[in-house]
Amino acid sequence: MLVFAVPAVRAGDEGAAGMTVYIGLLRAVNLGGSTRLNMSALQKLLGRMGFEDIQPVLQSGNIVFRADPTDTARMEQMLERVVSDHLGLSTNFFVRTAAEWRSILRRNPFPQEAERDPAHLVVASLKRAPSAEEWGALRRSISGREKVDGSGREAYIVYPDGIGSSKLTAALIERKLGTRGTSRNWNTVQKLDQLASA
């Protein structure tokens, strides 16, 4: 087993033996080029680190697991380092506890869109919470019918005319908010919540 120091700073969603349920999102993996990641290899690596109940979800870089309670920012840094060292991939992790993920669902400012067209509502998990000025800059950059709202380290974005053709791209969002992020549509957000709550 690989041994890593994971400082226990707070608890939340404690499962077996006091472990916490986490949801991990990887940024821009398995989209082609140099971002390929074998999710089975990641699952085995996390198992060697002592994590439990490891469940990869889809091939676009989602994973649910249990680990000793720690600050999510520290967990992100540790996972980024380990994946780089052992799997040769430099990428960003975005980690939330199951309780934080449930709060993301509860705070959704677009419930009608979530019900009517969940594939075109996305949640972008961010490395840090943007300032009010940064949220304003993002809203001012919208040139189509997209809608954006933000809360903490999450952005909620509605793409009524489709995501692929929108000028509100991931690169533009990151530039205006001044932080990196990774997006999942509402269907995936719900699926991850169901798995983390099981």
pLDDT in tens, the chain (198 residues): 444 444 333 334 555 568 999 999 998 665 455 567 778 888 899 999 899 999 988 767 899 999 999 999 999 999 999 988 988 888 899 999 999 999 999 999 999 999 999 999 999 999 999 999 999 999 999 999 999 999 899 999 999 999 999 999 999 999 999 999 999 999 999 999 999 987
The order of strands in the sheet holding 93-97 is 52-57, 62-67, 20-26, 93-97
The size of the chain, in residues, is: 198
> Which pLDDT score, from 0 to 100, does residue 29 have?
62
- Considering the segment(s) 16-101 as one domain, its CATH architecture is 2-Layer Sandwich (3.30)
Q: Residue written as tokens 């996972």?
A: 79
> Which pLDDT score, from 0 to 100, does residue 16 have?
54
Separation of alpha carbons 192 and 23, rounded Å? 7
| Amino acid (1-letter code) at residue 99 | A
What stretch(es) of the chain map to CATH 3.30.70.1280?
A: 16-101
Residue 62 forms beta bridges with which residues?
A: 25, 57
Strands 181-185, 121-126: pairing kind: antiparallel
| Cβ 95 vs Cβ 75: under 8 Å | yes
**N- to C-terminal Cα separation, the chain:** 26
Residue 95 forms beta bridges with which residues?
A: 24
Query: Residues near 21 by Cβ (< 8 Å), separated by ≥ 6?
Result: 13, 15, 53, 64, 65, 66, 97, 98, 196
- Strands, DSSP E only, in 98-174? 121-126, 147-151, 154-158
The model's pTM is 0.87
Separation of alpha carbons 12 and 54, rounded Å? 17
- Considering the segment(s) 107-197 as one domain, its CATH architecture is 2-Layer Sandwich (3.30)
Provide the token pair at 192.
């991850």
